[in-house]
Amino acid sequence: MEVILKEDVKSLGDIGDIVNVAQGYAKNYLIPRGLAAVADTKNVKAFEHEKRVIARKADKLKADARGLAEKLSSLSIKLKAKAGEEEKLFGSITAMDIAEALKAEGFEVDKKKVVLEEPIKRLGSHTAAVKVARDVTATVNIEVEAE
């Protein structure tokens, strides 16, 4: 039985794919949960239209995300932390600290979107990646100073 996927299904495919599955799997699992619809001509045409609308919205969101990424990339955050000898910090600067500093600057960023290769444990200049959207990432400069 051919169905159109309405959502990404891990073992089958992505949104909009037309896949061939067992009739019982389609009728008992995919269709009742809203993951798929029967691939008849009416549903295919409706889904193609919906796909074009979604693509336009996605393009607009991606353009907005790129603008936000440019603003974030030009931003330099200054954080203060207690430091000991040899410019080592007591503790570390984490993704949560960076997210809070970005919030103070007016950017609402979830701490899960801030990517650090490793926690910052020294004074000086560092960078962190911020995932703005699926394919859009910004690099934020971080200056860590002693308190």
Report residue 24's pLDDT band, with 50, 70 and 90 as the boundaries. Answer: very high
Adjacent-strand bridge partners of 53: none
pLDDT at residue 135 greater than cutoff 90: no
Each residue's pLDDT tens digit, 100-119 = 999 998 888 898 999 998 88
pLDDT at 13: 87
Torsion sign, CA atoms 104, 109, 112, 115: negative
C-alpha span between 116 and 37 (Å, rounded): 41
Report residue 6's pLDDT band, with 50, 70 and 90 as the boundaries. Answer: confident
Range of the domain at 51: 2-63
Contacts of 34 (CB under 8 A, 6+ apart): 6, 7
Nearest to 79 by CA among 128, 117, 136: 128
Phi/psi region, residue 106 (left: phi>0; alpha: psi -120 to 50; beta: rest), is left
Same domain, 58 and 72: no
- CA torsion 43→47→48→49, rounded to 10°? 110
CATH number for the domain that contains residue 52: 3.40.5.10
pLDDT at 61: 87
As given in the structure block, the two tokens for residue 20 are 């061939």
Same domain, 109 and 132: yes
User: Any alpha helices (H) in the chain, and if so which ranges?
Assistant: 23-25, 41-73, 95-104
pLDDT at 22: 95
The count of structural domains within the chain is 2
pTM of the predicted structure, to 2 decimals: 0.65
Report residue 16's pLDDT band, with 50, 70 and 90 as the boundaries. Answer: confident
Phi first, then psi: give them for residue 88, nearest 5 degrees. Answer: -90, 140
Each residue's pLDDT tens digit, 45-71 = 888 888 888 889 888 988 998 998 898
Final residue of a domain: which of 24, 46, 63? Answer: 63
| Mean pLDDT calculated for residue range 123-130 | 92
C-alpha span between 46 and 60 (Å, rounded): 22
| Mean pLDDT calculated for residue range 84-96 | 88
